[in-house]
């Protein structure tokens, strides 16, 4: 089936590795860990006392002070990366048809910090309901999409996508489909997450999902290592400007790469654990390849979900081997979560940006913190351990999987006119 081609013309990113795309990418290929002791709250009594926080980030460097106070942290991050992406694409409300410019923006959890603060304040009182009038507008997870559209005057399709850790990958897929269907010419898409808080860390700790290597935060996230013990929570955001090829060419835009295809599937298995044989992961990669009209052999790099959990990493590897067969041994595989931490609903877009950079620069970022081979994983696969590798990357695939069994996949490739 023929359909409109969708290209990337702008990118924005905030992560524990940097407050720009360039800084994030440079630290990523250098194998820098973004993990360190938690500073956003007193974590001294928690089982996990470290995370991948943003560094030297003050929202008032980017947003008006009064404006920033009305926004949850996740929404602050969303506005910053939207500004970056719009500027990178050379777009503003005066040079596009704003009625055909949409915003599809994701979060897995939304304003958890605001929710926590308001409930604690109420509990400390005498029972009289005194809530901040911005409580609900700050907390709801669609508000980032709404705030972005208001900030940039974009009046096209506008809503949030949420599917836990697959959220921003699914948002990219929805954005692509809107452009292909002719319902928008331009879509700003991506996701944001900021839940490094008592509720966020405590909740994931109670599930035994987080690493507890408090003595060595920078080596705690170790995907595919025999001694992996859970993920490291991260915060961050990413944004992409997607356009139909015709629209981008008509305005003389710099085309960064092409979004070739996307896929979505469900494990239909368990609320938190993946299918042990990776069936949902297998199906979502096959769906993305079919949507892109590509063969498995055309993929050179996979940025895996790779959270550093004992079950999840192994299931995804089984899925990769099932989909790619012998070609799996010619792939580079890596988990950049080993450096950024797991950014939950923002993970997908940040990792898609890593794929875009790999395609642009023909460098595969590493999976850091590998110390001991896991005998359950095929040693002949190239997990790009500990050091970036130069190679031709014409096409890259990014996987993200979320609680609830949500699976999402996106494929990016070099743009060929």
> Token digits for 242?
């997607």
Per-residue confidence (pLDDT) for residue 47, from 0 to 100: 98
Which is catalytic among the residues 52, 75, 165, 355? 165
To the question of domain 265-413 being in CATH 3.40.190.10, the answer is no
pLDDT tens column, 148-174? 999 999 999 999 999 999 999 999 999
- Which has the closest alpha carbon to 138: 114, 107, 173, 170? 114
CA distances from 54 to 18, 137, 405 (A): 7, 24, 28
Geometric angle at alpha carbon 226, from 25 and 333, rounded to 5° = 35
Catalytic annotation present for 355: no
* Residue-averaged pLDDT of the chain: 96
Q: At residue 3, does pLDDT exceed 90?
A: no
pLDDT above 50: residue 1: no
Scored b (16 or more CB within 10 A) or e, 81-114 reads bbbbbbebbebeeeebebebbbbbbbbbbbbbbb
Name the helix (H) or strand (E) containing 353.
helix 347-361
Residue 265's nearest CA partner among 250, 257, 275 is: 275
pLDDT digits (tens, 9 = 90+) for 352-380: 999 999 999 999 999 999 999 999 999 99
Fold of 7-257: Peroxisomal Thiolase; Chain A, domain 1 (3.40.47)
Percent of the chain predicted with pLDDT > 70? 100
Quote the strand ranges of 163-213, DSSP E: 186-193
- Fold match between domain 7-257 and domain 265-413: yes
Q: Residue 295: pLDDT above 70?
A: yes
Does 406 have pLDDT greater than 70?
yes
In the DSSP assignment, the letter for residue 387 is S
With bands split at pLDDT 50, 70 and 90, how would you rate the model's confidence at 274? confident
Question: pLDDT (tens digit, 9 = 90+) per residue, 15-51?
Answer: 999 999 999 999 999 999 999 999 999 999 999 999 9
- pTM to 2 decimals? 0.97
Residue ranges of domains in the chain:
7-257, 265-413
Longest dimension (CA), the chain: 66
């Amino acid at each position: 089936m023929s359909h409109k081609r969708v290209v990337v013309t702008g990118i924005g990113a905030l992560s524990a590795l940097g407050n720009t795309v360039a800084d994030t990418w440079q630290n990523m290929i250098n194998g820098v860990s973004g993990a360190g002791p938690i500073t956003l709250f007193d974590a001294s009594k928690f089982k996990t006392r470290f995370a991948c926080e943003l560094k030297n980030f003050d929202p008032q460097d980017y947003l008006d002070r009064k404006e920033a106070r009305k926004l949850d942290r996740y929404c602050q991050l969303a506005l910053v990366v939207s500004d970056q992406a719009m500027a990178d694409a050379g777009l503003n409300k005066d040079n596009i048809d704003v009625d055909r410019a949409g915003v599809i923006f994701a979060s897995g959890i939304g304003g958890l910090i605001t929710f926590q603060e308001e409930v604690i304040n109420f509990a400390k009182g005498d029972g009289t309901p005194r809530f901040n009038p911005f409580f609900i507008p700050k907390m709801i997870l669609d508000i980032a999409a709404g705030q972005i559209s208001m900030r940039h005057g974009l009046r096209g399709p506008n809503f949030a996508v949420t599917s836990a850790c697959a959220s921003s990958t699914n948002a990219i897929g929805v954005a692509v489909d809107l452009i292909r269907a002719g319902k928008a010419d331009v879509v700003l898409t991506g996701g944001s997450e900021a839940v490094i808080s008592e509720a966020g860390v405590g909740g994931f700790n109670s599930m035994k999902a987080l690493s507890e290597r408090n003595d060595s935060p920078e080596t705690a996230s170790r995907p595919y290592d025999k001694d992996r013990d859970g993920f490291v929570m991260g915060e961050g955001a990413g944004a992409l400007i997607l356009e139909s090829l015709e629209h981008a060419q008509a305005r003389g835009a710099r085309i960064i790469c092409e979004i070739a295809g996307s896929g979505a599937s469900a494990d239909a298995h368990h609320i938190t654990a993946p299918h042990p044989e990776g069936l949902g992961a297998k199906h979502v990669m096959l769906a993305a390849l079919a949507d892109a009209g590509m063969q498995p052999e055309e993929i050179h790099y996979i940025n895996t979900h790779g959270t550093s959990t004992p079950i999840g990493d192994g299931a995804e590897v089984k899925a990769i081997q099932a989909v790619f067969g012998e070609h799996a041994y010619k792939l580079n595989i890596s988990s950049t979560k080993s450096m950024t931490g797991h950014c939950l609903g923002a993970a997908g877009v940040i990792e898609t940006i890593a794929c875009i950079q790999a395609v642009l620069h023909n460098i595969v970022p590493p999976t850091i913190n590998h110390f001991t081979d896991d005998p359950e994983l095929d040693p002949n696969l190239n997990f790009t351990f500990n050091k970036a590798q130069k190679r031709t990357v014409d096409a890259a695939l990014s996987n993200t999987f979320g609680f609830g069994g949500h699976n999402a996949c996106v494929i990016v490739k070099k743009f060929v006119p």
